[in-house]
Amino acid sequence: MAAPERTQRDITGLLNAAGHTLSNRLAAALAEVDLTPRMQCVLIHAMEEERTQIQLAALSFLDKTTMVSTVDELERRGLAERRQSATDRRARIIAVTDKGRRVAEEAQAIVDRVHGEALAGVAPEGRKAFLDLLTSLAGPDANPGPQPIRRARGK
């Protein structure tokens, strides 16, 4: 039996393979400062402005369970802490400690280097087009955060 004719490249497979490769490179490079890419992402977003754990999870493309364990680990290492929001007494925010800020700044230079290396063979206008495309596929407007996938029962 012949396979069905493909009319499109396997975009999902290509994106997964590229993401896996880049994630592995980034994880290996961030090991220099004893951070994971997930921890670095949360620290950077938490440093930008006062944000709750739920807001940080959406910005970091993390589910709630992964976010909780990531913040627990950041707290254990003295890099971040949960605090009451300055603007909403009901909300708890993730605040980056001075130690966390120093580590995140050092790690951001590593992230920038790895990303630069990954795009080194792409012309500047191609980089912009590529990043614009990725943003439209997975950016905050297209994806407000991790969403559950609902499957029909019995299938």
Q: pLDDT by residue (tens digit) across 105-141?
A: 999 999 999 999 999 999 989 999 998 888 888 765 6
Q: What is the percent of the chain where pLDDT is above 70?
A: 89
Q: How far is CA 19 from CA 23, 42, 79, 94, 111, in A?
A: 6, 18, 26, 27, 14
CB 35 within 8 A of CB 103: yes
Length of the chain: 155
Grade residue 149 by pLDDT with cuts at 50, 70 and 90.
low
From first CA to last CA, the distance across the chain in angstroms is: 25
Find tokens 């393979």 and name the residue: 17
pTM: 0.81
